[in-house]
Structures are given as C-alpha cells and as structure tokens.
Structure 1
C-alpha cells in the first residue's frame, strides 16, 4: 500500500466506517481503540457461557449506509430483517397487540390499518394520531427552525393528549432518540418518523443481530482492515494529537504515529479534550450536547417464558425486551432495554432486578413460575448525546479548521439522530473530507514538480 498515512482515533462504528473507506481508497490506515476490541458503543463482553452486548441495538431497513457497511464487512447475513414492520405491544392484564404495517398498501397508507386497529388507544385517539402522522410528513427535518421546536410541544399542538403520547409516540421516540417527546428535538423526531415510517412502506422494517455485536462489527472490521493492509491498535488510548507543518503526530499509550491526516472518531466529551485548539476553537460548545443514559437488565430463566423475539411494553416498568438466548442453550436469556434512563442509572442492581422481574411476571405469567438463574445490569451513562431542541447548532461538521483533521461520531452534524446509521454516515463523511484534502495536496505537489 503506497497511499498517504491516516490515523483514525476511535474504533466504534464511525471509526470503522472511516477506516474502511480510507483503506479502500488505497491509504495506509492505523486505527486506534482504547478498548480490547473494536466496536465502540456496540461492544460485547463474556459472562460465564454468555457473550453479552452492553446495549440492545436494532436497525431499520432504511439504514442504508449501516447495512452497506455490514455488506462490506461480510456480516450482513448475521442479521435478520422483518418481512414487514410489526411490533408486539404488551400490557399487564391485556391481550398482546401487534402494531404492524400493511404489506399491500403504499406509504403512507401502509400505516392506516395498524393505527386504526391500535387497541391501546380509543378510536377517537387513533384518528387524532393518524392526523398528526399526516402532518408530520410536512415537517422538514433539515430546517434549522424545526430543530428549535420540542417534539412534545408539536404533538400537543396537533391534538395529541398525554395518553396518546404515552401509548404511541413515546413508544417510538424514547427508543429512537433516548429522550421522551417533551425533551426531544422535532427535527430529529421527524427524521426518524418520516424516514423510518412515513416515506416508504418497507423503510421501518426492523433488523436484529443474530450474533453478539462483537461478531457483527468488531471482529469482521479488524479482519477486513488487516487484510487491506491497515494497522489496528486495540488497547491503545490516544492521549494527544499535535498538528505539524506537514501533518500530525498522534501520541498513544506506548506508541506514536506520524500521519498525513487524522479522523477523530470518539465521543464528544473526549473529542473536545483531544482536538487541537486550532482545529475547533468552538469545541467548548460541544459540552452543551450533554448525554443521556441507557440501562439494560439481563435475566436468565431456567425455562422459556415467551416465544417473542422482541416486544415493547406499555403501562409497565419494562420498555423493550429482547430474547438473546444463544442457539442450543437451555432456558431463556431476556434483556430489558431501558432508554432515557438518567433516573435509573444509579439505582442499585438489586432494586432494578426486583422491579423488572416483577414486571416480567405481569407480562408473562410463566416468568413468575420459572426459576431465575441470573440477573445482572449493564449501564451506559453516556449512551447518546441528549437529542434536545437546539442541538443541531451545537453539532460540528466533519471538516475542522485544520486541513487534514476531520471529526466523526454520531454526535457530529449528520442530520441524523445518535444511531448506528448516524455513526456510519459520520465516519464516511469524515473519510471523504480527508480524501478531498489528500487529493488536493497530491494535485498541488504534482503541479509543483
């Protein structure tokens, strides 16, 4: 490999996407990751005979760049995508309800049967929800004014009462944006709902990993980069990036690299500490992006208590639950994902376990009669940035004031929420900034010779 040398700092999905694009363009890439494995927020760890994902990540059919990265990594076959959007909705003491799209109708009519028959809402509220969904199609997620508006305020102005918000809109918003509607940016909510549910009939079909995230992202990415001549330095935290006249010095634990360009693909709190001041004089604003927590409660039962692969819950401490039982393993391993969990992140494990086990027993009577073999909790205090009104103005572009240094991460200005799709898009945008810089530099050098 004879191209320029590029360092990518951060081995999450943004860093992986940037490193793959740069390697494919023929450059010599070194990828630094502080953890022992690649994957960033989508990482796994062993616990006994389990490989545990810290977060339960799903994707939609409309996540085109993320799915394209899976294709490039050779791991797309390790996921399953629904034939048609369908979410089992559970309530204590009520029959399960499935919120599903029509397979026959085009968008946006594909949602009408599901909303008209949505039992958790009264018929009057269903009609009001349909009208709000139609109005949401006219909201421009790229309009800066839209980002200044709260999604909850918009819903109230469009006839959505508290019960409708709680039983429909919050179900989607909390899972997608990690904040409730009253704290969410209308622009980001519109991006999710328009792109995922309203513009194409199949866009919102849900995809799930069939393997631990380490096997879906981290290991395949490492193998691909090494095969392409890249260098992967895991367990190596970058401590400083120094701009030089002809490039950058990247100082990491036990090593250093001279680079022609750098992609900084770490969370915004760390990026503000690492970025050279000349590259981002306004980096202090990034702190105002804040953070929002996700908590996951992991439960292992001696026997199966449900045949559902995943479900959402209403009127329950459970939000979303996933069956992550490894093939051939006895019993059942369920994971409860609790988003917008700032109030829960400090709750003792015993209390979380007691609350969630009781809630599962209400949803699945068999759970109350089945031995619990293990309960444990994973906590992500900074799972996403806080996707509140006004955050678009705080999210920096990939290009910085220092040519050759680009920013990546789902927190940068992709126009997308803090999702796997947003992370991949950010990495690709940062790689394109670097490629343009290196291409222009090469052209200038050739012109001088």
Structure 2
C-alpha cells in the first residue's frame, strides 16, 4: 500500500466519504475545503429568522441506500436516523383532499400491489408491473417515453417520487436514472424503501460524526482553504495552488477532486461535465406539527411537493424549482403556508418562516446531461474525481455522492491506478 498522502479537495459528502474510506484503510489524508464548514449542500445551521437549527435542504435517505448506510455505520451516525419497522409513505391530493398510504411489503415479491389498501387509489396491479419498462430504458429515453404519464400510478406516485429523486421533471428526466432508482429501492421490496429520517438534522448524522471519526484517525482538515489552480506535468498532478501557497505533491501522493462540476471545469483542462442545473426551493415554518401528522408526506396538485414534520417546524421541498428563482420571498412563503396549513389541518396565521433557494442544487438529470458525466478516473495518473455529478449511475443524491467518494477512495488505494 502506498505511504503517500491523499489530498481531498472538497468536504462535502463525496469528499468526506472518500476520506472516511481512506483513513479506515490506513491512508494519510488531508482535506482542503473552501468554506469554513464541512457538508457542502448537506449540512445543518442555525437560522436566525426562525430561531432554529435547520438543514439547508430536506434530503431523504432510504434503507436501500447501501453506500450511505455503510458510511453511517463506519462513522457511528446510523443511530441518529429514525428507522421505521416497515415502509410507509403518506400522500395527499391537495385538489381533492384525498389521502392514502403506500405500504410495500418487506420481501422482494411485490404481493402488496394486489392489495387495494396498500397501493395508490384507482390503480391496478398491472400498472406497477408496467413500471418495469424503466429498468430496460435506453440512455436516450425520457421517463414519459417509457411509462404512461396519464395513469394514476404515474401522477400519484411516480411523478412526485422521481421529480424528487432526479430534481427534474419526468417529461425531460432520464429514464435510465429513474430505472436505477427503482432498481435499488422499490424493485428490492419494502425492506429497501424504509424512509430514514434525520430528526436532529443531517449535519449531526452525516457530517459531525465523520469529522470526529477523521480527527481521531489523524486526518488533517484545512477549512477556508481555496484551491486556485492545479499544476500538471508528465501525466500527473504536480502541485495544488492555494490562496496561501502551493502544495507540492510527491510521487506517491494522490488527489481526489470532490468539488462541484462547475468548479472542476475551471481547474481541469478540457474536462467534460454537466452544464445545466436545476434548483430546489425549501420553505421552513417555525411551528409545532400536529401529533398525528406523518413525518414525511408527498403532495400532488400543489406547489408543495413533500412536507416534512420535524419536532419544532414544518418544512417543504419543491424540486426543479427554477420557476421560483426570482419570486419574491414573502408571497411565496404565504402561498406555501396556505397549502401547508390546509394539509396539516392547522388554523394558524403565517408563523416565522424562511425560504431557502439552492439555484444549482443538482445537475439537470436529462439524458443529454447524464451523458456528460465523467468517470472518476482521469487521464492524470494521480487525479480522481468525486461528486454526485460524476458517473455514479444514480441521480444527484446523497447515495450517489457517498458512493462516488467510496469509489474514488478505492481507486486511490488500487495498485493498478
């Protein structure tokens, strides 16, 4: 095994995952992070407008996210996620007021689709079997080219689920990526679809334990450390130029570049990366949720798409939300609150609120943009890419980010790299 240092640029989940995997195998690691905190787009922070600590985005893990669970088990954060005994997803049709709960059975044989009480209202077992067409999708296919977009199983289940997973409307979203999501979750049975809820926040579960784990194993973390350029020579990275000065690399050193795609594009000559992005809008309301409100609820026929009930707030996620990028914040908050109050059956005026817009939350998960995702291996012998925008086979999700970090670490440890 190499005794060189692995320099990881970026302390988001991809970078942290790479670092955790590497130090677990005895490699020396130095993490360089532009910001003054770790976590990237998956972190918790105190929001003064609410007087609460919130996540900068409402992310959801599922029990079938194998890489994420392996990472959590390694760093000691697994117990910080609520894990229901069975898979259940509550839904509400805002227009009609109808409510239902999807209840896949635990095993891989989907007998639940034959039970009216477990499936979406007004659907048939054959509707679910037809979703298997996504598993054979071509790289050029969109989701609505493979499934009937007018069917109740699409409008009341597939559309909200895949809109959230791909952060891209299914009419333009990659059917191949949608098929990967279905293959790793619903196709494996309800046991792989249990929603794992970070009740105390994503930072305490996914980031803070990782920093503690890395610190105890000698990893060096350099925050507020801005990478300006990369020096290449003889097929290798020779130096990393930071604002404070250059870090010269030894022959045994490696670099894992775990930065956003648009940053990587400025650092690496001729790299091909996704160029289109989609935003996510989150609305947070400082109010105690009703005791009987599900922790997670999918909403159809409303601006609100997913409603999360935390101990001290209600939070809403709106995916593929470019239409709200320039919207005035207070009218938007009032619009969403009107929906939330009706859904949660609350007779309350607009509470303290905050709107959080992530304009480049993910790459646009279209067939064309998916084709631009690079492999982790580069033409430079000691340079490896990591990030949910690389070719993980999944959309830009927590699972994809963590998986990319694992893969990058394995390449760095490989004698054949």
Shared fold (TM-score, shorter chain, > 0.5): yes
Of 240, 244, 247 in structure 2, the residue corresponding to residue 257 of structure 1 is 247
Using a 3 Å threshold, how does the CA distance of structure 1 residues 234 and 167 change in structure 2: closer, same or farther?
same
- Equivalent pair of 1:102/1:114 in contact (CA under 8 Å): no
Deviation at 1:68, TM superposition (A): 0.6
- The equivalences for 1:376-391 within 5 A come to 376-391=354-369
The residue that corresponds to 1:102 in the other structure is 105
Determine if contact 1:59/1:206 at 8 Å carries over to the other structure.
yes
Q: Alpha-carbon deviations, 1:222-251, whole Å to 9, x = none? A: 221121111101222211121245753112
1:135 is aligned to 2:130: yes
RMSD: 2.3
Whether 1:34 and 2:34 are equivalent positions in the alignment is yes
Whether the 8 Å CA contact 2:9–2:31 is kept in 1: the answer is yes
Residue 241 in structure 1 maps to residue 230 in structure 2: yes
Contact kept, 8 Å, 1:408 with 1:426, in 2: the verdict is yes
User: Is the radius of gyration larger for structure 1 or structure 2?
Assistant: 1
SS class of match (1:292): strand
3-state DSSP class of the match of 1:301?
coil
SS at match of 2:39: coil
CA contact (8 A) 1:302 1:370 kept: no
Worse-superposed segment, 212-221 or 397-406 = 212-221
Q: Which residue of 1 aligns with 2:216?
A: 227
Q: Which one of 254, 261, 264 corresponds to residue 268 of structure 1?
A: 261
For residue 329 of structure 1, what is the aligned residue in structure 2?
none
1:44-443 to 2 correspondences below 5 Å: 44-48=44-48, 49-92=51-94, 94-103=97-106, 106-113=108-115, 117-119=119-121, 122=122, 126-127=123-124, 130-137=125-132, 139-140=134-135, 146-156=138-148, 160-161=149-150, 164-244=153-233, 247-259=237-249, 260-275=253-268, 277=269, 281=270, 283=271, 285-288=272-275, 290-301=276-287, 304=290, 307-325=293-311, 332-366=312-346, 369-436=347-414, 439=415
Quick one: distance in 1 between partners of 2:103 and 2:151?
A: 23
User: Counterparts of 1:115 and 1:51 in 2: how far apart (Å)?
Assistant: 37
Cα distance between partner residues in 1 of 2:319 and 2:112: 28
Rounded Cα–Cα distance in structure 2 between residues aligned with 1:209 and 1:388? 29
Shift of 1:109: 2.4
Q: Deviations over 1:124-167 (max 9, x none)?
A: xx12xx434323335546xxx712101111113xxx42655322
Residue number in structure 2 paired with 1:12: 12
How many residues of Structure 1 are paired with residues of Structure 2 in the alignment? 410
Contact 1:34 1:237 (C-alpha < 8 Å) held by counterparts: yes
Within 2, Cα distance between the matches of 1:172 and 1:320? 9
Aligned residues of 1:305 and 1:364 also touching (Cα < 8 A): no
Identify, as 1 or 2, the structure richer in helix. Answer: 1
- 1:168-223 deviation digits (Å, cap 9, x = unpaired): 22111111111121011110111111221023341111111122222122222222
Unaligned runs of 5+ in 2: none
Q: Which whole-Å CA distance do the structure 1 matches of 2:108 and 2:392 have between them? A: 28
What is the TM-score with the length of structure 2 in the denominator?
Answer: 0.91
For the 8 Å contact 1:15–1:265, the answer to whether it is kept is yes
Q: Deviations over 1:296-316 (max 9, x none)?
A: 011112674853212111222
Q: Distance in 1 between matches of 2:359 and 2:117?
A: 34
Q: 1:357 to 1:3 in 2, by over 3 A?
A: same
Consecutive unaligned residues of structure 1, counting only runs of 5 or more, are 326-331, 442-449
The normalised TM-score by structure 1 is 0.85
